Structure 1
Amino acid sequence: MRGAWRVVAEREITTRIQQKSFRYSILALVVGIAAMVVLASVLGGRPTDYKVGVVDQETAAIVKAAAPAIDRADEGSTIEARDFDSAAAAERAVRDGDVDAALVRTDAGYEVIGENKIDGTLSTALTTIASQQALERNAQAQDVDLEQLVAGSAVAERLLDPDADDAGARSATAFVFVLLFYLTAVMFGMTIAQSVVQEKESRVVEILAAAVPIRALLWGKIVGNSVLALFQIVVMVGTGVIALALTGEKDLLSAIGPAAAWYIAFFVLGFVALSGLWAVAGSLASRQEDLGSTTMPDRSSCSRPTCSPSPRVRASRPSCRCFRWSRR
């Protein structure tokens, strides 16, 4: 009967889909993955929109010129100038929390005003731009060629490992992949083993064996549960990809996207191999209570082990044999 394994696989799929526990478990995993991605994105930091109080056009121009530096230091962050009538009004806005800082002129140059602290990125950008513009004005007033004055002072950056910042995210992604594989393998593998034992206990397998080859029964169970496991993994990986795209983590998505595709491909191979082992474990048990001894490591076969040289090979080379102590 050539198509028997397909019938068995369809029965395994339809029976499992109809179970509420299966649907609820997928829903819980999807919600958990989405919440994990959103929480990681929130805790990992988001772009900041800085608001700086100014009192004249000159300081407003400095704030506008600092926008590229802000974006380079913290990708996606912006800076906006808020006009006030006086320095006192700008300081009052800082105290009230209407602006993050204020930039005002002083006799010595400029002053960045904050309430209890000033953001380092904001302070560095404003200080750098203000100093640069003041230097250009002084060089022009002294009739000095500023380009020749600063020639050779440019400092560039070059990263030997530009992807090192994603190392933590890659490690976390690998851990999540391993955890998903473990949960899926245990959950669906135990289902295969329990299904085999139930049919043996109820003696249904004797009836099925008369009409369907045993090999077809085995392959039907493996294929059916493998399809369900693959469907669950695809849903969970797709949820993670969509959550990363919606939270704006495009760089991270481009880094782990190929890994997710390879994970699905290798998951199929690994789970099919494990499914065969779970089916064997179920066939070795005669009752549901015996599944623990066939699916988990069993050390009872050598309760009090000891090693002694084997008499046959004692003269040639030492060897060890493990035997059970028994009462006589």
Structure 2
Amino acid sequence: MGGRRVSTGGSTFWSAVRLVARREFTERIRDRGFQISVGVMLVILLASVAIPAAIGGGSEKYDVAFLGPQQAQLAQTAERQAALLDVDVRVGTVADRAAAEKALADGKLDAVVADGRILVDTTLSDPLAAVLQSAWATVERDLRLSASGIDPGAVNQASAIRPMPKTTLDPDADERDTRKGIAFVGTLVLYGMLMLFCMWVASGVVEEKSSRIVEILLATVPARALLTGKILGIGLLGLLQMLVTAVVGLAAASAFGSVELSGAMIYPVALVLLWFVVGYALYACMFAAAAARVSRQEDLQNVITPMTSLLIASFLAAIFLGQKGGTIAHVLSYIPPFSAMLQPPMTAADEVSVVENLVAFAIALLALVGLVRLAARMYEGAVLRMGGKVGFKEALGTARKG
């Protein structure tokens, strides 16, 4: 954290908060470890968007050729069947069987139909097999019909029945699935960012306390201003990282064609950002108050275990219940701090409405007001007490006396 003195003179409470927040933000953003972690996260994010797009982008194309007396008829029929089955087939030519086998071995052709057999180098994909088998069956049927004195053209005309049209009962299904995917990634990022930045708050509190820097700071800055500024400064840095992650992620997904940017797609991302602010404020207050109770980094994990367990439970609820809905998920989506993790995925899955978002947000803000006051009292009562762990009641009692 550093031991730079923060002087506020006769400044107001919020002036002191701004000074502390600026100090926290500036020192953290200059940290080389933070810069590297942001870079690594963006590389992973871009890779997670680019690799699936590269692997699954576009339909696979198949190159085929035909040999034998019916090769022209087979080629025309295969092209018609491919169009009907929505398979991209390109028909080429080869001089003879030897040329066909060489083209297969060199990877220039995927399959060759010769004398009633399908030749492949290694494997035959199911879509291409369906096209070739259908084309072969159609040509063979026409030959047998002609041999029996039946006009194949009349049979083909009678068999030319248009495919049944498809009616989708849920026309928004594809869009909703895309929103779910965005919300799932957003939930992972939200969990990671909440855990990371709340841990920064907690470790910063203990570091200042163990090095007794807090005693110097509190000589010029009120305890509540110091706590508020610390939470605000680190939180602004977290929000900046979230914004960068969201912008880069959406831009990359749009560029690779994975997502078509629209209000419906941006809304889940905006919700993740909004609930990061609220969720961070809730958890950071709890982490800071708990951290003020100990004087050594070795004891920190013990006092913040309840908060980390709560955050993990919220994350698991969001992953396993968020997009499925149900009574338990709906109830938890209104209860802070579970609401911070559950609202984005449930909104993406159309399990909660905008009105329900606003209600949950209002409840979280009310809870935050009470939690801020409680955390500030605990921080004031415990941050200057050195030695062993300060009890919960003892911290509140010391704050009342102060």
| TM-score normalized with structure 2 length | 0.58
| Residue 192 (structure 2) aligns with | 183
2:110 aligned residue (94, 100, 105): 100
* Contact 1:16 1:22 (8 Å CA) reproduced: yes
* Contact 1:241 1:253 (8 Å CA) reproduced: no
| Residue 325 (structure 1) aligns with | none
Gaps (5+ residues) in structure 1?
Answer: 299-328
Higher mean C-alpha deviation, range 110-119 or range 189-198 = 110-119
Counterpart code for 2:42:
V
| Residue 282 (structure 1) aligns with | 291
Distance 2:153 2:48 in 1: 60
The answer to whether structure 1 residue 266 and structure 2 residue 266 are counterparts is no
Gaps (5+ residues) in structure 2?
Answer: 1-11, 308-402
* Contact 1:90 1:102 (8 Å CA) reproduced: yes
* Contact 1:169 1:252 (8 Å CA) reproduced: no
2:17 aligned residue (2, 5, 17): 5
The answer to whether structure 1 residue 215 and structure 2 residue 224 are counterparts is yes
Task: Flag the 1:292–1:166 CA change in 2: closer, same or farther, 3 A.
Answer: same
Task: Flag the 1:93–1:199 CA change in 2: closer, same or farther, 3 A.
Answer: closer
| Residue 89 (structure 2) aligns with | 79
Query: Offset at 1:159?
Result: 5.1
* Contact 1:245 1:253 (8 Å CA) reproduced: no
The answer to whether structure 1 residue 240 and structure 2 residue 244 are counterparts is no
SS of the residue 1:200 aligns to:
helix
Query: Offset at 1:167?
Result: 9.4
Query: Offset at 1:161?
Result: 5.9
Task: Flag the 1:43–1:171 CA change in 2: closer, same or farther, 3 A.
Answer: farther
Counterpart code for 2:83:
P
Query: Offset at 1:43?
Result: 5.9
* Contact 1:13 1:224 (8 Å CA) reproduced: yes
* Contact 2:20 2:229 (8 Å CA) reproduced: yes
SS of the residue 2:26 aligns to:
helix
Task: Flag the 1:259–1:66 CA change in 2: closer, same or farther, 3 A.
Answer: farther
Distance 1:146 1:183 in 2: 61
The answer to whether structure 1 residue 294 and structure 2 residue 309 are counterparts is no
Distance 2:16 2:128 in 1: 70
* Contact 2:38 2:241 (8 Å CA) reproduced: yes
Distance 2:57 2:250 in 1: 19
Counterpart code for 1:52:
V
The size of the alignment, in residue pairs, is 288
Task: Flag the 1:112–1:33 CA change in 2: closer, same or farther, 3 A.
Answer: same
* Contact 1:244 1:253 (8 Å CA) reproduced: no
Write out aligned runs for 1:31-46 (5 A). 31-41=43-53
* Contact 2:205 2:292 (8 Å CA) reproduced: yes
1:24 aligned residue (29, 36, 39): 36
Counterpart code for 1:122:
L
| Residue 47 (structure 1) aligns with | 59
| Residue 193 (structure 1) aligns with | 202
Task: Flag the 1:20–1:44 CA change in 2: closer, same or farther, 3 A.
Answer: same
Distance 1:274 1:112 in 2: 64
Task: Flag the 1:89–1:205 CA change in 2: closer, same or farther, 3 A.
Answer: closer
Query: Offset at 1:12?
Result: 0.7
Q: Which of the two has higher C-alpha Rg?
A: 1
Distance 1:198 1:215 in 2: 17
Query: Offset at 1:64?
Result: 3.9
SS of the residue 2:154 aligns to:
coil
Identity %: 31
Query: Offset at 1:224?
Result: 1.0
SS of the residue 2:292 aligns to:
helix
| Residue 113 (structure 1) aligns with | 119
| TM-score normalized with structure 1 length | 0.70
The answer to whether structure 1 residue 65 and structure 2 residue 71 are counterparts is no
Task: Flag the 1:23–1:210 CA change in 2: closer, same or farther, 3 A.
Answer: same
Distance 2:188 2:217 in 1: 36
Distance 1:162 1:133 in 2: 39
Distance 1:11 1:88 in 2: 76
Question: Which deviations, in whole Å up to 9, do the C-alpha atoms of 1:51-100 show, x marking residues without a partner?
Answer: 11235544443444345345x35xxxx32221223355334423443200
Question: Which deviations, in whole Å up to 9, do the C-alpha atoms of 1:232-290 show, x marking residues without a partner?
Answer: 22333334334434444347999965433322222221112111112212222233333
Query: Offset at 1:20?
Result: 0.8
SS of the residue 1:144 aligns to:
helix
Distance 1:208 1:83 in 2: 83
Distance 2:141 2:166 in 1: 23
Counterpart code for 2:123:
K
* Contact 1:166 1:252 (8 Å CA) reproduced: no
